[in-house]
């Protein structure tokens, strides 16, 4: 097994091409690619060597039903070996159609069921706080369709009221939600006392600025707009 971490963003399409067999969720994967890259390349304080460090940042992929971009970025950054990628989804591969935290180095949660990641992220912040670890940031990436789930709205309401400023949510908006959100996605978070930003989810400079914006005393949500799922 050989793990290298010298890949750049331009190599991600090749890494993605090594994985086949989940065409149903290919757009769920590609819609997250730029956000994932900017997070792991420029924002998150976590590396393969610090993947178990108590003071590491935590990244939770709630949108785990389309994990190919996640696996490609983990391979590019040296968390998993590139040679695992062609086996994606096969019986004996650690890279399943939903990530498994026990099998995938760097994965914080098993995910894919809609509406689980943000409540788990809230619990992660509270757990870290209970241990006296107030430095690590917790990030969760959700899809806009996950906001159809009531569990997320409960988490949004609680986190805002509790002032969980180590909590960060990225909503990748590919217009796949079934229910409209009056005023837009950001308005739902703002009503619950979150800091928000809405940006082009393909613009790396805009992503970095939004992801690193200060938000004292409040959790932070970034809505990353990408191409509509049904407009391909």
* DSSP bridge partners of 223: 171, 198
- Judged against a pLDDT cut of 50, whether residue 49 lies above it is answered with yes
Q: Say if CB 100 and CB 133 are below 8 A apart.
A: no
pTM of the model: 0.92
In whole angstroms, what is the distance from residue 127 CA to residue 21 CA? 37
Q: At a CB cut-off of 8 Å and minimum separation 6, what does 109 contact?
A: 60, 61, 64, 99, 101, 116, 117, 120
Q: Given a cut of 70, is residue 101 above it in pLDDT?
A: yes
Tell me the backbone φ, ψ of residue 59, rounded to 5 degrees: -120, 125
Residue 1 has pLDDT above 90, yes or no: no
190-214 pLDDT, tens digit each: 999 999 999 999 999 999 999 999 9
Q: Which residues touch 155 (CB under 8 Å, ≥6 apart)?
A: 118, 119, 121, 122
DSSP state of 168: E
In sequence order, which residues have a C-beta less than 8 Å from that of residue 22 and are 6 or more positions away? 29, 66, 68, 88, 89, 97
For 125, 126, 163, 178, the CA distances from 130, given in Å and listed in that order, are: 9, 6, 15, 37
Average pLDDT, stretch 40-56? 96
Does residue 3 have a pLDDT over 60? Answer: no
Percent of the chain with pLDDT strictly greater than 90: 79
Determine whether 230 is exposed, middle or buried from the number of CB atoms within 10 Å of its CB (0-12, 13-18, 19+).
Answer: exposed
- Please tell me the predicted confidence (pLDDT) of residue 84: 96
How far lies 116's CA from each of 39, 63, 133, 182, in Å? Answer: 20, 9, 23, 23
pLDDT in tens, 120-161: 999 999 999 999 999 999 999 999 989 988 999 999 999 999
């Amino acid at each position: 097994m050989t793990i290298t971490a010298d890949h750049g963003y331009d190599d991600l399409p090749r890494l993605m091409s090594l994985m086949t067999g989940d065409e149903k969720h290919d757009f769920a994967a590609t819609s997250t690619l730029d956000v994932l890259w900017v997070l792991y390349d420029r924002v998150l304080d976590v590396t393969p060597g610090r993947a178990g460090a108590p003071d590491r940042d935590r990244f939770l992929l709630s949108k785990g039903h389309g994990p190919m971009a996640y696996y490609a970025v983990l391979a590019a950054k040296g968390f998993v070996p590139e040679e695992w990628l062609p086996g994606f989804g096969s019986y004996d591969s650690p890279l399943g159609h939903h990530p498994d935290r026990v099998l995938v180095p760097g994965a914080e949660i098993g995910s894919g069921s809609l509406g689980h990641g943000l409540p788990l992220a809230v619990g992660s912040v509270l757990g870290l706080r209970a241990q006296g670890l107030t430095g690590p940031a917790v990030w969760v990436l959700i899809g806009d369709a996950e906001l159809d789930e009531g569990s997320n709205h409960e988490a949004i309401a609680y986190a805002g009221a509790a002032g969980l400023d180590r909590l960060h949510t990225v909503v990748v908006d590919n217009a796949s939600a079934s229910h409209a959100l009056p005023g837009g996605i950001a308005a739902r978070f703002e009503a619950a006392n979150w800091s928000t930003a809405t940006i082009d989810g393909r613009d790396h400079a805009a992503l970095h600025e939004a992801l690193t914006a200060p938000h004292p005393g409040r959790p932070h949500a970034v809505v990353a707009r990408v191409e509509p799922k049904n407009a391909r």
